[in-house]
């Protein structure tokens, strides 16, 4: 298991508006299915976001160290509904088939990985502002 900072085209920090910064952590693991005997390499990329480039860069290094020390794991959560407005449905990369599900990479303590990985979760959706009574 190894985690590194994801670099694309020589960049490891991205910004859209000089107000929000993103850094990606790439985590590679090998999963072994005891029932089938199949060993499958898995690569997850998790984006960390914040309002300060130095702070989010430091956070990425902390997350990488925790993953490599065995304290944290990345996992993939599934949902029947999108996690965010513009998210597209997952697709089988081999066949191009639309899978009618959505996924997101998240972090958890290592001891929670088995129960969280590849499980469906409910996505909280607020369709209208919620009025709070005083």
Distance between CA atoms of 43 and 75, rounded to whole angstroms? 10
- Residue 15's pLDDT is 92
Q: Among 104, 116, 107, which residue's Cα sits nearest to residue 78?
A: 104
- Residue 53's pLDDT is 93
Residue 59 belongs to what H/E stretch? helix 53-68
Ranges of residues in the chain whose predicted pLDDT is under 50: none
Distance between CA atoms of 11 and 73, rounded to whole angstroms? 24
- Residue 23's pLDDT is 96
What one-character DSSP code corresponds to residue 33? -
- Residue 25's pLDDT is 97
CB 5 within 8 A of CB 64: yes
- Residue 17's pLDDT is 85
- Residue 36's pLDDT is 95
- Residue 22's pLDDT is 95
């Amino acid at each position: 298991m190894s985690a590194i900072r994801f670099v694309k085209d020589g960049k490891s920090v991205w910004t859209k508006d000089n107000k929000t910064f993103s850094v990606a952590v790439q985590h590679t693991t090998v999963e072994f299915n005891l029932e089938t005997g199949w060993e499958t390499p898995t690569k997850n990329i998790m984006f960390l976001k914040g309002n300060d480039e130095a702070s989010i860069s430091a956070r990425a290094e902390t997350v990488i160290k925790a993953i490599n020390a065995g304290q944290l794991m990345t996992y993939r959560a599934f949902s029947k509904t999108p996690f965010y407005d513009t998210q597209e449905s997952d697709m089988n990369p081999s066949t191009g088939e639309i899978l009618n599900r959505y996924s997101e990479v998240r972090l958890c303590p290592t001891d929670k990985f088995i129960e969280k990985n590849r499980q469906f979760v409910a996505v909280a959706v607020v369709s209208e502002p919620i009025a709070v009574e005083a």
